[in-house]
Amino acid sequence: MPQALPTFEDVLAAAARLEGVAHKTPVLRSRFLDQKIQAQVFVKCENFQRMGAFKFRGGFNALAKLSETQRRAGVVAYSSGNHAQAVALSAQILQIPATIFMPHDASAAKLAATQGYGAKVIGYDRYSEDASVLATELARSKGLTFIPPFDHPDVLSGQGTAALELFKEVGPLDALFVCLGGGGLLSGSALATQALSPGCQMVGVEPAAGNDVQQSLRKGERVKIATPVTIADGAQTPMVGAITFEIIKALVKDIHTVTDEQLVQTMRFYAERMKMIVEPTGCLSLAAAFQASASLKGQKVGVIISGGNIDMARFSELMSAYPAVD
């Protein structure tokens, strides 16, 4: 282990850094949802976070901790999606120069947003080049600080502030559903849960197409899989992080999986019933809660929506690919 594992203290420190900078996102309820699951369901809406996803929390926390010298030199990151925007926006706020590697086929909207925050974007080929190698090489040659998307104590501690806010607002829960890619959001949430709601069952949710963490927990070590083919693009990680896995192994027993069809039905639910646009990855948590409803009867259940960044053309494409059921 390269660094000591972060603790709940680090989540609290992150919350202090994010105070007045990150949005305190709303926790929404729906009578229809409560009836459907036969439970009290609390939906923490990180789709309303700055730049549209929880990633701003971890990105800003990591950048805010840098020394003056590190800030002057600048930061580098890679991402096809929300981490790029999170680092770019955080760097803009803190006046730190940022370079982001983005794949040539990244969505035009995400590219424009990242450049709009003032970051320098360098394209790469996601099939023939390894972005983490490109980013660490540049960091070394130019003296920049590399900000990884999930496997970093400051990043995951920042992500944990979403669950911290949820528990502060609604008190302890019986179960909390959190989506899972590299495990930054889940491990950070687990630190908050252990401290504020120790009896709460933590459920990590990954796409059925790529259940690497389910396999990893069974095996007791990290399993690497081929990049999963799923519409949940925020959870297409081939392997969980080393630091995030240590925390998940200790604090999370249950990993559920969800199909693309279930994700689209959940997107439809959020749009029709709760008037929210949620990206496919952001629907993992509630889709899993729907499936687990028989075991949730009468409980207090938390669900974290991780993000809402999807363009309307893609949204309607997915709606017609999987028509409404019941």
Ligand X SMILES: *Cc1c(COP(=O)(O)O)cnc(C)c1O
* DSSP summary character for residue 282: G
146: which residues sit within 8 A by CB, 6+ positions away?
75, 76, 77, 135, 136, 139
Piece of the chain touching ligand X by CB under 6 A; list 15-23, 66-74, 176-184, 215-223: 176-184
Question: Closest approach of Cβ 234 to ligand X, in Å?
Answer: 3
Question: Closest approach of Cβ 129 to ligand X, in Å?
Answer: 20
65 to 104: interface string for ligand X, x by CB under 6 A: ----------------xx----------------------
Q: Which is nearer to ligand X, 6 or 184 (CB)?
A: 184
Q: What six digits make up the tokens of 12?
A: 């609290």
Q: Which is nearer to ligand X, 55 or 222 (CB)?
A: 55
55 touches ligand X by CB under 6 A: yes
Q: Which is nearer to ligand X, 159 or 265 (CB)?
A: 159
Question: Among this protein's residues, is 55 annotated catalytic?
Answer: yes
Q: Count of alpha carbons within 13 Å of 321, Cβ hemisphere only?
A: 14
110 touches ligand X by CB under 6 A: no
Identify the sign of the CA torsion 170, 173, 175, 181.
positive
Query: Which residues pair with residue 176 across a beta bridge?
Result: 202, 302
Of 55, 197, 285, 306, the catalytic one is: 55
181 touches ligand X by CB under 6 A: yes
User: CA 128, CA 81: separation in Å to the nearest integer?
Assistant: 19
Do residues 204 and 186 make contact, with C-beta atoms less than 8 angstroms apart?
Answer: yes
Piece of the chain touching ligand X by CB under 6 A; list 65-73, 178-186, 259-267, 316-324: 178-186
Written as one letter, the residue type at 326 is: D
Restricting to residues 263-302, which ones interact with ligand X according to CB under 6 A?
279, 281-282
Q: What six digits make up the tokens of 215?
A: 């396999």
**Strand positions, DSSP E, 19-150:** 27-28, 40-45, 75-78, 98-103, 120-124, 145-146
The only residue of 14, 106, 180, 286 in contact with ligand X, by rule CB under 6 A: 180
**Which residue numbers are catalytic?**
55, 80
Task: Catalog residues that contact ligand X under the rule CB under 6 A.
Answer: 53, 55, 81-82, 150, 159, 179-186, 234-235, 279, 281-282, 306-307
